[in-house]
Amino acid sequence: MLLYLGATGHQLSEQDFKSSILHQFEQDKSTLSFDGFMLLIRSIINAKGPQALIQWLTNLGYVYSHELQTFVTERSRVYTLTIHSNQQLGVTQVDTLLEDQEPEFESTEQQIVEQGREIYSNGALKMHCSFHENINVYSFLASNESTKDPIIACIDLSDFAGVVQTSTQSLIRQKTIEPREKAFMFHAKIVDAEFKDPLRPMISYRKI
């Protein structure tokens, strides 16, 4: 119920929620089961279209780029949740993107590595890039191959000012990457319809 209220912004009492939502979908101990929640999501999309779901996820703190036509974050932003109850409650925070779990979607990192190609390899730094032809978007992922030294990776698209727009609104991106870790850098959308050449960013790094 809390997820439903937070996502939709609807104001429902517990009784209204039970009468208008629970009785229509699969229940598990007086609440929505996972399958029931998925049925609820599908019914909303069928009734109101995908824009309704985009608005739900935006309400929960995910960042949607209309320019790139995709969500540019995998995790919601931090928000404050206040719960009032006449019974003692326990709240457990979990991370659904932990490595020992099996998410039903591929992360941005997985997609870039599996669908893209390596465009830079020098010393500790490797850079992968994937291109989404249907929306003219490049995605860049840096990885630190060192086993002991953190690095600062830098990607620079300054030579393509006016040609691309990035998800960070900056043509230069630097990130600190720990040993054997990866870091998503940014998406870059081609906004110049006349530009047909591959992007060739300047890439560098330094040890910390």
- Local confidence band at 15 (pLDDT 50, 70, 90 cut-offs): confident
Roughly what angle, to the nearest 10 degrees, separates helices 34-48 and 50-59? 120
- Predicted pLDDT at 53: 78
Average pLDDT over residues 80-106: 54
Structural domain boundaries of the chain?
2-71, 108-207
1-5, 7-11, 26-30, 82-86: lowest mean pLDDT where? 1-5
pLDDT at residue 186 greater than cutoff 50: yes
pLDDT at residue 150 greater than cutoff 90: yes
Q: Distances in Å between the alpha carbon of 115 and those of 30, 47, 139, 171, 185?
A: 43, 33, 10, 23, 16
Query: Options 2.60.40.1230, 1.10.287.10, 3.40.630.10, 3.30.565.10; which CATH number does 108-207 get?
Result: 2.60.40.1230
pTM check: above 0.75:
no
**Taking the mean position of all CA atoms in its chain, how far away is CA 121?**
26
- Predicted pLDDT at 97: 44
Residue type, 156: D
pLDDT at residue 22 greater than cutoff 60: yes
Place of tokens 């870039």: 112
pLDDT at residue 106 greater than cutoff 50: no
Round the average pLDDT of the chain to a whole number and report it: 78
Average pLDDT over residues 58-82: 66
42-51, 120-129, 147-156: lowest mean pLDDT where? 42-51
- Predicted pLDDT at 76: 52
40: left (phi over 0), alpha (psi -120 to 50) or beta: alpha
